């Protein structure tokens, strides 16, 4: 008898038995969570109208930050294409001779950060201005040509960024025969400063909208708990723990957030399709090709995950705040 007892003790304490029991507990826990997850989804549609209204509100709240992100991504693509000095205009002094102009051209051609140098004489500059302005007859009455000669400098590719172009401009401004240096990247820096200010404002708005998602889900779960107060009291009377009771409500909150994220993704996709035709018409006028990029797979998964996480957090806070206060009378 003692041998059997010792054998039973050895058998019950063996690593294999402990491992099997651990796996069994894990499977049982996963099965319970799966059943609760499915049951909570079914619970949503017992009040379909209220559920749809809540999901639509959450979808709108989540779609606004999502649309801002899509707009930011596309504007960044455009500004990335503009963030380069395609050419630098050098306005020469009026009294410079043709010989000195040629010397200057040869000198600039030796710069390592300059690709090409194009010379536009005063006469050519005046003719181009006549064609562009439409005041050719009025300009014919001028006693002398008021326009200076211009050198159009195309930097090498490595010097076309903002930093490289500024270094090149600083060197060109030191040349004696150059009266004025103009680069077409100055307005881009001003535009980018405005753009980054708008981005900061959008981030603040997005944070408020995400906070509103937390408040909406939290209040919805609170109402569910209060409406089912009698059922919760019965469950506690028969010995159900708080962790067992709160699990469905937490999953319901996660479902709200996930479905709200799905609606936000759908709204964003429809908006991109709606804007695409208008953008194609606009870019066709300027003879450029640009296509709006919507959310990719990773961004879409992040949107759904963030929605579910916000719903989970909001429902967890609401459950912890209200569920523990309900006790059977």
Mean pLDDT, each 10-residue run in order, the chain (329 residues) = 41 52 71 77 85 91 89 74 66 84 87 86 73 60 71 79 76 85 71 79 87 90 84 78 80 92 92 79 62 85 93 89 73
Task: Report the alpha-carbon distance of residue 250 to residue 231 in Å, rounded.
Answer: 17
pLDDT number for residue 310? 92
DSSP letter at 148 equals P
For 155, list phi and psi in degrees, rounded to 5. Answer: -70, 160
- Asked whether the beta carbons of 147 and 129 are under 8 A apart, the reply is yes
CB-based burial label for 101 (10 Å; 0-12, 13-18, 19+): middle
Q: Going by C-beta distance under 8 Å and a sequence separation of 6 or more, which residues neighbour residue 114?
A: 108, 153, 154, 155, 156, 159, 168
CB-based burial label for 63 (10 Å; 0-12, 13-18, 19+): buried
pLDDT number for residue 5? 40
Contacts made by residues 279-287, CB under 8 angstroms, sequence distance 24+: none
pLDDT number for residue 257? 93
pLDDT number for residue 16? 56
Report pTM: 0.64
For 177, list phi and psi in degrees, rounded to 5. Answer: -85, 0
pLDDT number for residue 303? 92
DSSP letter at 277 equals H
Question: What is the strand order of the sheet 88-92 is part of?
Answer: 114-120, 150-155, 88-92, 178-183
- Asked whether the beta carbons of 312 and 254 are under 8 A apart, the reply is yes
Residue in 40, 71, 26 with CA at minimum distance from that of residue 268: 71
Which domains are assigned to the chain? 31-81+190-325 (no CATH), 88-184 (3.30.70.3040)
Where are the alpha helices (H) located in the chain, listed in sequence order?
A: 2-12, 15-44, 48-82, 98-109, 122-133, 136-139, 162-172, 186-227, 229-237, 242-285, 297-322
Q: In angstroms, how far is CA 205 from the centroid of its own chain? A: 13
């Amino acid at each position: 008898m003692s041998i059997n007892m010792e054998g039973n003790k050895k058998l019950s304490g063996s690593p294999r038995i402990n491992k099997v029991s651990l796996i069994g507990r894990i499977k049982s826990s996963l099965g319970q969570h799966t059943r609760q997850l499915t049951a909570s989804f079914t619970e949503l549609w017992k009040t379909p109208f209220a559920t749809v209204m809540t999901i639509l509100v959450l979808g709108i709240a989540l779609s606004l930050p999502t649309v801002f992100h899509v707009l930011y991504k596309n504007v960044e693509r455009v500004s990335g294409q503009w963030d380069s000095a395609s050419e630098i205009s050098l306005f020469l002094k009026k009294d410079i001779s043709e010989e000195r102009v040629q010397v200057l051209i040869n000198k600039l051609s030796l710069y390592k950060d300059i690709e090409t140098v194009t010379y536009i004489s005063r006469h050519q500059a005046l003719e181009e201005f006549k064609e562009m302005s439409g005041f050719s007859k009025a300009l014919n009455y001028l006693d002398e040509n008021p326009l200076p000669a211009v050198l159009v400098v195309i930097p090498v590719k490595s010097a076309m960024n903002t930093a490289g172009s500024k270094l090149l401009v600083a060197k060109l401004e030191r040349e004696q025969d150059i009266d004025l240096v103009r680069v077409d990247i100055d307005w881009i820096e001003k535009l980018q400063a405005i753009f980054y200010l708008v981005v900061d404002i959008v981030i603040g708005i997005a944070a408020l909208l995400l906070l509103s998602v937390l408040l909406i889900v939290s209040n919805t779960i609170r109402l569910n708990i209060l409406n089912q107060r009698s059922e919760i009291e019965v469950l506690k009377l028969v010995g159900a723990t708080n962790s067992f009771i709160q699990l469905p409500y937490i999953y319901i909150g996660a479902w709200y957030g996930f479905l709200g994220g799905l609606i936000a993704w759908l709204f964003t996709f429809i908006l991109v399709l709606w804007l695409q035709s208008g953008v194609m018409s606009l870019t066709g006028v300027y003879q450029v090709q640009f296509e709006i990029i919507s959310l990719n797979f990773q961004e879409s998964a992040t949107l759904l995950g963030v929605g579910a996480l916000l719903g989970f957090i909001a429902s967890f806070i609401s459950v912890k705040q209200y569920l523990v206060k309900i006790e059977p009378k």
